[in-house]
Structure 1
């Protein structure tokens, strides 16, 4: 789709859109003087900079400072594409690094409004190495537990996309914006243009949401609230996420047998994750994709706000076999929440991990292992509720050790009873007896110490 005209805002128009009447206080790094025609002595470079300054009113391709978006003060940096294509040179690197350091010093989130064609060729390798400076500054901010949000405008390509844009914790894009590492003049002539746009990057799991310009202030303001304050020290974890309320099906009481437990968990009338999440949050902000080119529609991740304003991250299975992209998205969400000091809620509901050939080629084992590792390493409390099927390691990867609870419409098993019977070479009519032997009912799980409680 064509780019929304608003995606070609100037740097200051983009800032004003987000800060509104709250205003913006510009900052500048200590001045640095470039040699004539830049570090390479590129003939005509000084004249090109002067023309760009006359045309835009800016003396570099980035503006930065502090402002309030929604209710939250933050550091904003905004690219001016009209200044040499928003390209990154040495002075741009100075400003970008200073913006990250300002956020670090004041313990504020960083909001980047990106529109860039990449590194400035008139400065050659000196320009390219600015990407390393940006990556290092971003890493320092990440280590300090401070969130980074990027809004990618038209166009966002090259090293600016590969650092400030795609390197953010949350990536929002304006509709129709060109977004990709390869710009329009350097990609293959037969390349599919959809892959290089905001909507294509969203479909590939590289962008969390495509947001019209008019909705940006509200959306970014909510994200700044949902990502926490960034002020909590690692040794001072937040309170655990409260358990969701039970949303029982028409069945009453606890299942009398293993077969009944499995049937209730598989019932199409049983409430699914969307119902629990809608009841749990007043605001929900999805994270989208695994950042490796894939998505799993059967696994929902993101951050939300409860009625009391408490931010909680969530990872929720939707009753389908979870694919590798889903596990990678889950690990991404858990690690981000842990870094920001936000508690996590996981809803377990899957017959197991996807086991088709494509899932194996996509690295199912490694993705599951990484999810186990992310959960094991989390310093923030993780609360788990099994709301349906708990199928083997594909479900256990999202279950918090010591803080897993179950509903009356759930089961958790080392393997599905049908598969267990087949492995044991038992006839199908013995599946129910096998389910009983597996002790997979909610009450069995509590008695075995697998679950802390039954939420009824």
Structure 2
């Protein structure tokens, strides 16, 4: 593997030219004494050699600079200084920088590259990871963004503490990232660590890292994420002008629809299942900006059937959790892992005080022994609980199919929009027909009887407004997605704040 950038080179390539300001003060001298882990003459010589070799006085540089014009705090490791290891002075520097970023309400970007704890300082250094973690979590608790860019290599206690706590986590291409360094593993167990596991690309595939990003792409990726995470609403934008599109026809008031213009329930169901129908990916492509996809739960689970992203709809930033019809139709029906990805998005919105947009478009949750054993029912319940109690403003868009508990899991919201041919049902109508009539052949009859179509949802107060299809989203995908995005922006802009009573009050039967 080629030599990677040092700390100063990384800052030069990421920050706006000439904007770096160091926060560092000379480090305290290493601990002295005769106990285990105490620094001696040999350690002092190692520190002097590390300073000479790296040009840095410690294993991290901290400070601030401008990233695409935004003031951002940085903690960046220097691997050439004793393998980026964390000693007492290193920890003091990191904690001081994190606390200053919190006090000055700055977003924080960490770029670790480290072998972990500094062995020369032993347990006293080891426990500093808890101190650093506490400072990072206080920063997050203040509603401030924390971004992590994992560099080659990042292992040990650094990866197991402040390297794994980002709201958004990227990694350097090909970087070695893992808990136990492969050299240590081989030395302890007498065999090499399995290849291809502790590699950035594999961690991204497993839902542990959001994206693999080269250093030249890092400024744009980080800037887009911060443009959403920092939560500012853009000035000078008229609601309904999402991504530069013209305002759509969807209104914040329910549309008046002539009875003879209403599609039948079965007509809507058939249209919603068309392969050409746009889904959440097209909604983001045509109707949103500053889109930053996030991968998986961050805890080792990925789910192709559920899309999590940061995005802007016009002037309004949000966290989006959307059921991806493409992923589900390609053999990845929504399972427990997908709902855990959704709950990650709910936590992110709540922590950073961002609006949450959920997009319902699912033929139903996966039916399998693995899903049952993986806690599918419990994850649906926890999604519902997280949504109805969320401190974030919430909006749901019923985009297409809405079958069963997987759809219900993302439904409760302060405001609910529905596409003309969207629908919501306790089961796919074929399943409901089997239960009632012992045959799937009366599905159309069951759909009509159950009140599943968008017009019924609007009448019953489950939905607040319709997004028109002219006559079918599959025949006008771009125009429909722009119309839907404009409706989302208008609805988000009109939300005064969380309305927990509205989230479940809308489900009370109307007399």
Q: Same fold (TM over 0.5)?
A: yes
Query: Comparing 86-95 with 270-279, which one deviates more in the overlay?
Result: 270-279
- Post-superposition offset of 1:229: 4.5
Deviation string 1:314-347 (CA, Å, 9 cap, x unpaired) is 1111222312222111111121122212212221
Contact 1:110 1:149 in 2 (8 A): yes
Q: Does 2:20 correspond to 1:24?
A: yes
Give distance in 1, aligned partners of 2:153 and 2:443: 58
Task: Choose from 37, 41, 60 the match for 2:38.
Answer: 41
Cα distance change, pair 270–35 in 1 and its aligned pair in 2 (3 A): closer
Aligned ranges for residues 190-269 of structure 1 at < 5 Å?
Answer: 190-229=192-231, 256-269=263-276
For 1:248-273, what per-residue CA distance to the aligned partner results, in whole angstroms no more than 9, with x for missing partners? xxxxx865433222212212232222
Q: What's the counterpart of residue 399 of structure 1?
A: 411
Residues 62-101 of structure 1, C-alpha deviations (whole Å, 9 max, x = no match): 1101111112101101101111110111111101111110
CA distance in structure 2 between the aligned counterparts of 1:372 and 1:427, rounded to whole angstroms: 31
Match for residue 64 of structure 2?
66
Query: CA separation of 1:354/1:150 partners in 2, compared to 1, >3 Å: closer, same or farther?
Result: same
Q: Hey, what's the Cα distance between the residues in 2 that align with 1:180 and 1:369?
A: 33
Aligned to 2:319: 313
Question: CA–CA distance in 2 between the matches of 1:245 and 1:416?
Answer: 30
Deviations 1:371-415 (A, max 9, x none): 223322322211111111111221111123341121112110122
Given the two structures, how large is their TM-score scaled by the length of structure 1? 0.90
C-alpha spacing 1:31/1:178, structure 2 compared with 1 (3 Å): closer
CA offset digits 1:348-383 (Å, max 9, x no partner): 100122222222333323332332233223222111
Aligned residues: 439
Q: Residue 433 in 1 paired to residue 445 in 2? A: yes
Provide the C-alpha distance between the structure 2 equivalents of 1:25 and 1:212, rounded to a whole number of angstroms.
24
1:306 Cα shift?
A: 3.8
Aligned to 2:103: 105
Structure 1 contact 344–381 (Cα < 8 Å) conserved: yes
Query: Which secondary structure state, in structure 2, belongs to the residue aligned with residue 294 of structure 1?
Result: coil
Match of 1:162 among 160, 163, 168: 160
When residues 431 and 229 of structure 1 are mapped into structure 2, their CA distance, relative to the original with a 3 A threshold, is closer
Contact 1:406 1:442 in 2 (8 A): yes
* Change beyond 3 A, Cα 1:53–1:446: same
Query: Which residue of 70, 79, 82 corresponds with 1:81?
Result: 79
Alignment root-mean-square deviation, CA: 2.5
Q: 1:131: Cα distance to partner?
A: 0.7
What's the counterpart of residue 126 of structure 1? 124
- Indicate if the aligned counterparts of 2:240 and 2:314 stay in contact, CA closer than 8 A: no
Which one of 347, 371, 374 corresponds to residue 386 of structure 2?
374
Q: Is the partner of 1:406 in helix, strand or coil? A: strand
| Separation in 2, partners of 1:166, 1:245 | 41
Matched, 1:52 2:50: yes
User: Offset of 1:245 from its aligned partner?
Assistant: 5.3
Query: Partner residue of 1:137?
Result: 135
In the alignment, structure 2 segments of 5+ residues that lack a partner are 251-259, 469-511
Q: Mark the CA change 1:287 to 1:246 in structure 2 (over 3 Å): closer, same or farther.
A: farther
Partners of 1:145 and 1:230 within 8 A in 2? no
- Which stretches of structure 1, 4 residues or longer, exceed 4 Å deviation after superposition? 239-247
Residue in 2 that maps onto 1:288: 295
Cα pair distance change 1:374/1:207, threshold 3 Å: same
Tell me, yes or no, if structure 1 residue 14 matches structure 2 residue 10.
yes
Kept in 1, the 8 Å contact 2:394–2:414? The answer is no
How many angstroms apart in 2 are the aligned matches of 1:124 and 1:422? 66
Q: Which segment is superposed worse, 202-211 or 13-22?
A: 13-22
CA deviation digits over 1:176-232, x for unaligned, max 9? 11111111212353432211011011011111111112111221122221212489x
More deviation in 254-263 or 341-350?
A: 254-263
Question: Secondary structure of 1:411's partner?
Answer: coil
Cα distance in structure 1, aligned partners of 2:370 and 2:231: 40
SS at match of 1:21: coil
SS across alignment from 2:101: helix
Structure 1's unaligned 5+ residue stretches are: 232-238, 248-252
Give 1:320-335 correspondences, 5 Å limit: 320=328, 321-335=333-347
